[in-house]
A and B are shown apart, each in its own frame.
Chain A
Amino acid sequence: MAVGAKWTDVGQAFAVDQLDKNTAVAAASFSYFGAWGSGSTTPAVGDTALVSENPEARTAIPAGSMSQPTADVVRWAYTIVATGTRTVQETGIFSASTTGNMYIRIVHGSLALESGDSVAYTVNLRLKDDSEA
């Protein structure tokens, strides 16, 4: 297992589509949802789903839960509450409440949660050029 955070190929393709006037869709026409799971496989750009998604419903991420802390960063914020004893080690941002496209996958240190425990995720995606650290 290795922790990490990856903007997936599917997420990159979505961003390119949003830059293209031929394929871009209005904000009201797409959605984001946060999910979590117990998988620990090292994240890779080719990932299309969490390795082992937990049974809690995905959390909708409305526009009000998104921000740009700096001009080159987009931020998603969402919270998921455990409905039972859970191991949580991965999270992903998806296009739909079930299935859908996974834009980002993150593997973090393993969390042993009890029912009622929650995780508030703040996910950042920064685009930078080679002059920036």
Chain B
Amino acid sequence: MSDIRTAGEAEASALLRVDKVDGRTLFYRVTDGVSVEITHDEYDREGGA
């Protein structure tokens, strides 16, 4: 019997919207091993809350 984990996996990721009191807003994408700043458009396109 094969281990089902060999045929599938889980991928956790996140989008961050940082609202600063000085009026700036920053957006980031985090995947396994990568955290990068992205544009507002990219954030919206990827479904950020």
In the assembled complex, which residues on chain B have CB atoms less than 8 Å from the CB atom of A106?
12, 14, 30
- Whether B35 lies near A109 (C-beta < 8 A) is yes
For chain A, the bracket of interface size reads 35 or more
Q: Is A20 interfacial (CB 8 A cutoff)?
A: no
Contact mask A38-76 → B, CB, 8 Å, 1/0? 000000000000000000000000000100010000010
- Whether B12 lies near A7 (C-beta < 8 A) is yes
A93-133 at interface with B (beta carbon < 8 Å): 104, 106-109, 111, 113-130
- Whether B11 lies near A125 (C-beta < 8 A) is yes
- Whether B10 lies near A5 (C-beta < 8 A) is no
Choose one: B8, B17, B35; the contact of A119 (CB below 8 Å): B17
Closest to A42 in B: B33
Q: Is A35 interfacial (CB 8 A cutoff)?
A: no
Choose one: B22, B33, B47; the contact of A3 (CB below 8 Å): B33
Choose one: B11, B17, B31; the contact of A128 (CB below 8 Å): B11
A2-B48 CB under 8 A given contacts A106-B14, A126-B13: no
- Whether A117 lies near B20 (C-beta < 8 A) is yes
A37 to B14, CA, bound (A): 15
- Whether B30 lies near A104 (C-beta < 8 A) is no
Binding site for B on A (CB under 8 A): 2-7, 12, 65, 69, 75, 77, 79, 91, 104, 106-109, 111, 113-130
